[in-house]
Chains A and B, each alone.
Chain A
Amino acid sequence: MPIFIDRRLNPKDKSLGNRQRFLKRAREELKRSIRDRIRTGKIADVDSEHAVSMPARGTGEPSFSDAKDSGRRQHILPGNKHFAPGDRVPKPGQGGGGSSPGKTVSEDDFRFVLSREEVLDLFFEDLELPDMVKLNLKEILAFKPRRAGFAATGSPTNINVGRTMRNSHGRRIALRRPKQEELDAIAEQLAILEAEPRSAAPVRQRIAALREELERLERRRKRIAYVDPVDIRFNRFDAQPVPNANAVMFCLMDVSGSMGEREKDLAKRFFVLLHLFLKRRYDRTEIVFIRHTHEAQEVDEETFFYNTQSGGTVVSTALEEMHRIIEQRYPSNEWNIYAAQASDGDNFVTDSERCIGLMDGQIMRLCQYFAYVEIIDERESHIFGTTDNGTSLWRAYSAVNQRWPNFQMSRIANAADIYPVFRQLFARQPAFQKSA
């Protein structure tokens, strides 16, 4: 009799720890591969699984092994069809000499899939992103009434009839309010007695007593109301916060010649990051890409990142385009509107005033959040530092920044600068403060 043990319910993923160790070991290489992928892929695709190829460095398991291209050896093979001793067989391929003519898959050359969490971990590591991206924060934006028991006060439309009548019934029983049947019975008795033509003295007495009784009961009925204000109950509603489930993200970017590959790459990371935040929070996120030179247009993601256009730089055109699209497609009571703008700060001289006007007048009212990043040269970052001096757009937006708390602006010179732009977005959340 063998012993049987059912192991199927044992904890799964026994090898998860080994997997994590392996990924840690291959970290640098995987990071580079993920970064390349994201540079060429779509923003919305970041937040998913990725297949990566086996990293070559750091994961080798060397051991002493024979060199295939040296020495003399023998292969004993089955299935001889027509060979005789002394026959010569050409070696397959170049340098493939030595190996027996069979195919083997190398264990060091294969692709495997990283989970979403692992991808994010690798991608954001050089941004030193704290765990808050992984927190699922709910932004409270709308309220929906939800039934929450009963109340003694309220508006007449909310009267709960069932509850009210039950209270009234109980009170009537408790205070012994005469019932209609009792009254009817006495009235009937009276009618019978009065109908008799000759009434004796006891009968008359009886009639008088009944009349008195009837009167007493009716008085009592009048004093004890059928439905009293104390009986009345109202349905109670609580306003329950409902996170607004839709968000739209506007990506605005200057695509004039001054924006090179590096600038676009940084801008893309910035957009990816905002998109990730939004995706964590909202059921549905849409992205609108608006590029501009001296005129703005809505384009698809491909065109946005990879097509260049020549022309001057008029930022207000992009803001106007964004406003037009909001009016048309994304009413601000249904959508949470986020905007991220990336630029090198160049703007047509007289246009900056107009931008301030647009922002103050229309856009900032509609937006949950507007983030502006100015992508500068790494050398410039030392010069500008934290001063308010800067490009014309920077100076213009500084004014906006003072008036609107949901406006955020920053200069970035490398990837690590991107994250702080979003810090404020989270700092505003009470939920975050609690968990921090």
Chain B
Amino acid sequence: MPQDEHKEGIGGMMNPTRYGIERVAYLLMRLSGLGLLAYFVAHIYETSNILRGQVGWNEFLELTQTTEGHLFLAIVIAMCVFHTVNGIRVMLGHGGVGVGKPARPDYPYDPASQNYRHKIGIYSSIVLAAVAAMYGLAVMFGE
């Protein structure tokens, strides 16, 4: 056990099981952000193949237009939608919008900032991400 600061570490930071859906959203936001950045870099590289002319472009397109490629893209769509919708929720929250008003707390002290508006926002972003991924799969595999 690293006793100097006794920090929980990455394992503790990433553990989504103890503090409700807000902590799950926090983890998904990070993971989707990293995933989208990786995809973005790959996408810039992918599209640069257009400089290799039609043959080069088609060669690269063949690599990505596969079942695995489509499934990967569906995950990217889900990450993108979740990161966007949840990001807007978080951004509003960061501005103090929808986090409740200060008031004398009463036992059992349910925190006003963890209210139904934000919970609905989180669940909506998860549902919308799933719907968008399915729509993406329908478009990609429907052709």
Q: Do A and B come from one complex?
A: no
Residues of B at the A interface (CB closer than 8 Å) are none
